[in-house]
Structure 1
Amino acid sequence: MSAGGDIVIVGAGQAGFQAAASLREGGFDGSLTIVGDESVARYQRPPLSKAYLAGQASGESLALRPARFYADHRIAIRLGIRATAVDRAARRVAVASGEPLAYDHLILATGARNRPLAVPGADLQGVLQLRTLAEADAVRRSLTGRERIVVVGAGFIGLEVAAAAAARGIAVTVVETAERVMARAVSRPISAFFRTAHEAAGIRFVLGAGVERIAGRGGRVAAVETADGRSLAADLVLVGIGVVPNVDLAAAAGLPVADGILVDHRLLTSDPSISAIGDCAAFPSPFAGNAPTRIESVQNAVDQARCVAARLTGRAAPYGALPWFWSDQGRVKLQIAGLATPHDLAVTRGDPASGAFSVFRYREERLVAVESVNRPADHMVARRLIAQRAPLPAGQAADPAFDLRALVGHAAAA
């Protein structure tokens, strides 16, 4: 269907937008419609917990493209409308208001939603989460005039918000069920470094403790009570305990799901007329032994969207982009290339005491991931090394005198 037909994209986030843009760039000349349940224009999510929350970025700067881009490229945008069902036999998408949308190909870019904190008091005023622009606005307003905030969850979002709150002079306590920060995402040296950096900024950590309940006064949050008997005073609570992929639409349509909508190496579901991309899709990643893998990142959303657009315009290729991530926490930047789980060896390059170092992680003597703190050059080299599957002995990675860039050039020439 490289020339025409009807394509419907459910999801108006980064993945959905990129799919539409790439389809037009690839020569698709048919009908193209994006349906999104948020009523605001398409925007970038990563800055919401970083520059936007800190007041360093405006709402206008978050726009993925100017409004006229969509008209110029004949992309119909239907915002504030929820897709309610997919009729696969008739190839139609039912929406909450209006006529069903017919498709020749359907792209599910439904994303994910915040994982709820299932404890008493989670519905009190002053208990917030952060994923959408509206939620970021609520958090930004709520930080004004607050004295004590408890952040539940020491993942990327939780620590980014904690850093922004501490920079405002607010007393911050982070509660995490794991024994270290970002435990599911990074190595122990990286966890230790970030904990120390945040503690130096005045942030307090309560690790290895779950939340039992949130206590309130007059309908508003007053304290967070942990399973080990602590009561942490708070006039604001930010819950950042991960996300849940939005698979309900796909599951109701009879498509296989398991922590994501299951797709093949072409990002096709079991229905050849339906693709799934972005945070909602679980795909066989070559960087995870081809196990079903769901990745929450802008890189993955954009690259998967381009992959599907290429297939639909006659340039099919399996999806095999290297995953990479980043997190800005105060003045510290963390960049990650690759997927480290599982790994059996980690070596450090550089001195953590200097505030700039990298951790190289190995699985069966193969480099699988590199985590870099304030070392962007290491990150860029690592992306190429891992993507090229270039051999790098752990001893060379740990040797600051060894020239990693020369290795990249050698691998490219081989």
Structure 2
Amino acid sequence: MATADELRRLVVVGGSAAGLAVAEEVRRRGFMGEVTLVDGEPGLPYDRPPLSKQLLAGEWDVERLLLRPQEQFDALGVKHLPGATAVGVDPTLSTVTLADGNSIPYDALVIATGARAAHPRSLGAGLAGVQVLRSLPDALRLRGDLSRGGRLVVVGAGFVGAEAAAVARGMGVSVTMVDPLPLPMVNVLGDEVADMLEQRHRAAGVDVRCGRGVTEVTSEGGRATGVVLDDGSVVEAATVLVAVGARPAVDWLAGSGVPLGDKARDGADGVLCDANGRACENVWAAGDVAAWFDPVSGRHVRSEHRLAATEQGRAVGAALMGAETSGPSLPYFWSDQYDLKLQSYGATGRQMTFTVVEGSLASGRFVGIYGHRDSEGRRQQVDGVLGNGMARALRTWRQAVVDRVPWPAATPTAAVHTAEAPAL
């Protein structure tokens, strides 16, 4: 493996938050060699979370999405290749092959290609009026479609689908949201919070069809006209947004020898890495594409959250320069929907125990905690926290997650102010 002293040519594939963080970190630590950023998209690297929020709503312009303005990006001294697509890597020869046939040699390679939105052919792939929402062109196209009116059908009630539905309602667009799961975002939030979220969507006028699947996208003249649900009902649509998840962008790595995970076999897909992001000799990965080994759980974990992408990129940059790195930070996500700004730290999920410790779900101002149970069904510690509208309490319970505080003996708000839980 190339040491920090031997590192002369660093190639980063992916103009993502993770990829940019790698470049910035090595420069910050004094790397004077060549940094090449292979970026499959045109233009400067930009932030993705606002695509389904502020940009789609027309509140932000494109310039505000840039991760760094032109002058700051230029100051990094990076050889930027916008619109260049990597199609292969040879770890033996230490080269990356581009779609135009050129090869780029490297001493160290960082894979930061992120993930691509899933779009099954059964859900109208290729039809006009049917799209996904993952890139800037996707968001601009959807914003244009919504401005022309007509019903939007959102297939999938996860982060992207639920946020896009909320934005569309704010624009006065009629919305139907369909998902085979019983509640929006239920796998991430759990039944209680997801039920509250569904009520918010219904109150805003969204036609929520949870517990239903889509069997067909109808069309006329090559353009979508609606969707058929598995109960036989038909929902007319001017636009269909398919938001059924994303897959790590690893197709270009097939047959390369870079270790790739399979969910059924390894518990995680993406590029399999050690706890510091190293995949194999002189090859690293960070961001949505990377499945880092978690020593606590003993398994590989892929995190599709914005903060994790930046922190992993910084950690890889530090490791490339021979610096000690700390383990993965606390997972964090946020979601803006209507007047809600849901924020979460740590682990959350439908299979975990959940209880409100501050405020109430009915009011919309609350903090709730999540915990796993042991083999005997006992709750052991606070593993995650989620809240809205109670920033101070949320910060306090975030620290409880960091400190792995034991699960409170009693859960009403007045009862959690004990030695077992932080006083608010």
The two structures have a TM-score, normalised by structure 1, of 0.93
Structure 2 partner of 1:2: 4
Identity of aligned residues (%): 34
Q: Provide Cα deviations, 1:313-344, integer angstroms capped at 9, x if missing partner.
A: 12122532111101101221111111235754
8 A Cα contact 1:91 1:104, kept in partner: yes
Q: Provide Cα deviations, 1:195-245, integer angstroms capped at 9, x if missing partner.
A: 001110000111111110110122221111011211011111111110010
How far apart are residue 401 of structure 1 and its match? Answer: 6.7
- For residues 309 and 14 of structure 2, the distance between their equivalents in structure 1, rounded to whole angstroms, comes to 12
User: Are 1:41 and 2:50 an aligned pair?
Assistant: no
8 A Cα contact 1:342 1:363, kept in partner: no
User: Are 1:295 and 2:293 an aligned pair?
Assistant: no
1:335 alignment partner, one of 343, 349, 353: 343
How far apart are residue 164 of structure 1 and its match? Answer: 0.8
- For residues 136 and 14 of structure 1, the distance between their equivalents in structure 2, rounded to whole angstroms, comes to 18
- For residues 42 and 314 of structure 1, the distance between their equivalents in structure 2, rounded to whole angstroms, comes to 26
How far apart are residue 405 of structure 1 and its match? Answer: 12
2:34 alignment partner, one of 31, 47, 60: 31
8 A Cα contact 2:187 2:350, kept in partner: no
User: Is the alpha carbon distance of 1:404 and 1:74 closer, same or farther for their aligned partners in structure 2, counting shifts above 3 Å?
Assistant: farther
8 A Cα contact 2:190 2:350, kept in partner: no
How far apart are residue 300 of structure 1 and its match? Answer: 0.7
Task: Identify unmatched segments of 5+ residues in structure 2.
Answer: 262-268, 374-379
User: Are 1:361 and 2:370 an aligned pair?
Assistant: yes
8 A Cα contact 1:176 1:207, kept in partner: yes
User: Is the alpha carbon distance of 1:60 and 1:394 closer, same or farther for their aligned partners in structure 2, counting shifts above 3 Å?
Assistant: farther
Structure 2 partner of 1:387: 402
User: Is the alpha carbon distance of 1:378 and 1:284 closer, same or farther for their aligned partners in structure 2, counting shifts above 3 Å?
Assistant: farther
- Could you say what secondary structure the match of 1:2 adopts? coil
Structure 2 partner of 1:264: 274
Matches within 5 A, 1:1-400: 1-3=3-5, 4-97=7-100, 99-119=102-122, 121-258=124-261, 259-269=269-279, 271-285=280-294, 289-341=297-349, 343-349=351-357, 350-364=359-373, 365-393=380-408, 395=410, 398-400=412-414
- For residues 359 and 150 of structure 1, the distance between their equivalents in structure 2, rounded to whole angstroms, comes to 31
The two structures have a TM-score, normalised by structure 2, of 0.91
> Relative to structure 2, which stretch is displaced further, 233-242 or 339-348?
339-348
8 A Cα contact 1:343 1:362, kept in partner: no
Q: Provide Cα deviations, 1:133-160, integer angstroms capped at 9, x if missing partner.
A: 0100000111012121110000010011
User: Is the alpha carbon distance of 1:120 and 1:266 closer, same or farther for their aligned partners in structure 2, counting shifts above 3 Å?
Assistant: closer
- For residues 61 and 418 of structure 2, the distance between their equivalents in structure 1, rounded to whole angstroms, comes to 38
- For residues 406 and 198 of structure 1, the distance between their equivalents in structure 2, rounded to whole angstroms, comes to 36
- Could you say what secondary structure the match of 1:119 adopts? helix
8 A Cα contact 2:347 2:370, kept in partner: no
- For residues 358 and 70 of structure 1, the distance between their equivalents in structure 2, rounded to whole angstroms, comes to 39
8 A Cα contact 1:304 1:319, kept in partner: no
User: Is the alpha carbon distance of 1:290 and 1:73 closer, same or farther for their aligned partners in structure 2, counting shifts above 3 Å?
Assistant: same
Amino acid at match of 2:274: D
- For residues 159 and 243 of structure 2, the distance between their equivalents in structure 1, rounded to whole angstroms, comes to 8
Q: Provide Cα deviations, 1:99-148, integer angstroms capped at 9, x if missing partner.
A: 31111110000100001133164322111111100100000111012121
Q: Provide Cα deviations, 1:322-378, integer angstroms capped at 9, x if missing partner.
A: 111011012211111112357542211221121111221111311111121232333
Amino acid at match of 1:2: A
- Could you say what secondary structure the match of 1:334 adopts? strand
Amino acid at match of 2:413: D
> Relative to structure 2, which stretch is displaced further, 241-250 or 190-199?
241-250
8 A Cα contact 2:117 2:132, kept in partner: yes
CA RMSD of aligned residues (A): 2.1
